[in-house]
Structure 1
Amino acid sequence: CPDGWVGFRGVCYFLSEERRSWDQGRARCSELGAPLAVLRDEEMEFLVPILCKKDHWLGLRRRGEQLQWEDGSSFNSSFPVHGNAECVFLAEDHLGCEICSTPFRYICSKPQTRL
């Protein structure tokens, strides 16, 4: 993985130090050549201890009644989701929904490239 990224099961994750809105986080991830993170349960379990109790935006938002990942896949997780705002962040033991303009840290993810 690039410097400052964390690798897990073939995917590299960038955990920001700065706080941005959901859209600004997505834009910054794009600059890094990655979308906001699309995570499965085992990846969330891997990342939670690294987040140090800080909330981080994910590439997940509410589309009508459904939560949908940025890659178009449906949300299907055993992690509890709290709140019903539009944009979703990963907290210590759950996913939270918050107004998208709230400044949080964010997580980008991209496949690990073989060198």
Structure 2
Amino acid sequence: MSRSRGDAVIGGGSPPTSPGCLPGLCSNIWFWRCTTGILAVVAVLILCIHLAVNSSSGKGSSGSPPLEPCPADWLYHKRKCYYFSEKEKDWDSSQSFCSSHNSSLTVIENQQELKFIMKITKQDPWIGLHKTGEEFHWVNGTPLDTNLLAVKGSGECAYIESAGVSSSGCSLTRGWVCKKTS
């Protein structure tokens, strides 16, 4: 019995091959197509998991900070976000503004930060230092370390000026500097 190419194989034997196919290869074409499809799905899932892990940790794949670590109009510096106001308010209103933006008036942590703020600011802005009794305390409750900085003046609330830190009456209006962790 002779078979033509289009005849079905009945009772065993090998299936017909397509023109241009090597024997045995084309019979497995569906296997290879399925394998390729599964590998593609697995690759997409791995990519999605990688992106989800990196976005939930807040870091890019290189461990660098997010592209926009601070809100608009805030300045990023050494893993902190700073807001330098252009308006003027009294000390309490300035602290209220900062609080409403999940931050506080700036607590100066070291000489480098003091120099940074003095370099950036164009006015004499309020910072988060005020008198409690006879002593200056930061808004976070920490007492002032006089080895870090000295406050000139006899006022109750502190601000930064070109020569360092001074104090004045808290009801005077000035610009202010808010700070928060990025």
TM-score (norm 2): 0.58
Residue type of the partner of 1:91? Answer: E
Match of 2:179 in 1: 109
Map 1:11-90 to 2 at 5 A: 11-40=80-109, 41-52=111-122, 54-76=123-145, 77-90=147-160
How far does residue 79 in structure 1 lie from its aligned partner after superposition? 3.0
**Aligned-partner Cα distance in 2 for 1:3–1:92:** 27
Unaligned runs of 5+ in 2: 1-69
Q: Give, in whole Å, the separation in 1 of the partners of 2:138 and 2:131.
A: 9
Q: Whose RCO is larger (CA < 8 A, sep 6+)?
A: 1
Higher strand share: 1
Query: 2: distance between equivalents of 1:21 and 1:82?
Result: 19
Q: Distance in 2 between matches of 1:80 and 1:59?
A: 14
Question: Could you list the runs of 5+ residues in structure 1 that have no partner in the other structure?
Answer: none
SS of the aligned residue for 1:14 comes to: strand
Measured in 2, the distance between the counterparts of 1:104 and 1:73 equals 23
Q: Which amino acid aligns with 2:106?
A: A
What amino acid is aligned across from residue 165 of structure 2 in structure 1?
Answer: L
Superposition deviation, residue 108 in structure 1: 0.6
**Would the aligned equivalents of 1:79 and 1:93 in 2 still touch at CA under 8 Å?**
no
Could you tell me whether the CA contact under 8 Å between 1:87 and 1:99 is conserved in 2? Answer: yes
Task: Find runs of 4+ consecutive structure 1 residues off by over 4 angstroms.
Answer: none
Aligned length: 111
The one-letter amino acid paired with 1:4 is D
Letter in 1 for 2:173: P
SS in 1 for 2:104: coil
- Determine the C-alpha separation between the residues in 2 that align with 1:7 and 1:93: 24
| Larger of the two Rg values belongs to structure | 2
CA–CA distance in structure 2, aligned partners of residues 84 and 34 of structure 1:
27
